[in-house]
Amino acid sequence: MTNIPRLSIPTCGLLPRTLPWSSSMQDQSSSIPHTHDSDVLGMYHLCISGCDSLETIHHVFVSCPAYRSFRQQATKTLITETSRILDSAEVPLLFCSSFLQVIRRLFEDGPDWPQSLSRFYLGLTPLLPCRTGLPEVKATRLLACIAHIWHTSSIRLAGRIWAEYKRRVRPAPPKKNKNAVAIELPSFLSPILSS
């Protein structure tokens, strides 16, 4: 078994400090084809989706217009789920708004992310608002539940975008010839084919 590189991240004690799978998406990035007609740019090339931006992993997941609808749909779903959890925990409305502000920018670059660069596609989430207006034990459970939902939604969205990206860059399978005729081979060739 090979050693998987681990990414160390600062957490609020809600998630493990190292995430073994966070490098898996980075490893996949080596399979991005470099066959575009932009060799002038070196190892970077323009986005395969037709944007006038360089195609980087960050661009594909965070800012490419081709996947904007995926990000918007995930944001709406996440707002609904988080609102349901906050309502059931009876969190005061004043504190709910701080969670919802972070969610609206979860899948885009913004001030809630370190260096203002979203890293949701690596399974990371920005820091959760620590003030909930609840007792400490209840607040810890609530924050763990919300962190889990945000993390899971981020991974699902990243998987969906990555699958669509791979579908776009994969060459079309060869079409089968409808006029092909099956040929029966002589019996003396069958041992060659079975080995």
**129-159 per-position pLDDT tens digit:** 877 778 888 888 989 999 999 999 999 999 9
pLDDT at 5 over 90: no
Are the beta carbons of 63 and 109 closer than 8 angstroms? yes
Q: Which of 36-50, 120-134, 138-152, 181-195 has the lowest mean pLDDT?
A: 36-50
How far is C-alpha 143 from the geometric centre of its chain's CA atoms? 21
Residue (of 133, 145, 129) closest to 93 by Cα position: 133
What average pLDDT does the structure give for the chain? Answer: 78
Q: Which residues contact 96 (CB under 8 A, 6 or more apart)?
A: 83, 86
Q: Which of 25-29, 49-53, 112-116, 182-186 has the lowest mean pLDDT?
A: 25-29
How confident is the model at residue 195, as a pLDDT? 57
**Residue 97 has which token pair?**
């708004």
What is the tens place of the pLDDT at every residue in 59-112?
Answer: 999 999 999 999 999 999 999 999 999 999 888 888 888 888 998 999 999 998
For residues 11-29, give the mean pLDDT. 44
How confident is the model at residue 10, as a pLDDT? 42
Confidence of residue 43 (pLDDT cuts 50, 70, 90): low
| Identity of residue 182 | A
For residues 155-183, give the mean pLDDT. 83
pLDDT at 8 over 60: no
Query: pTM value?
Result: 0.66
Say what percent of the chain tops pLDDT 70: 75
Highest mean pLDDT among 26-40, 128-142, 172-186: 128-142
pLDDT at 3 over 60: no
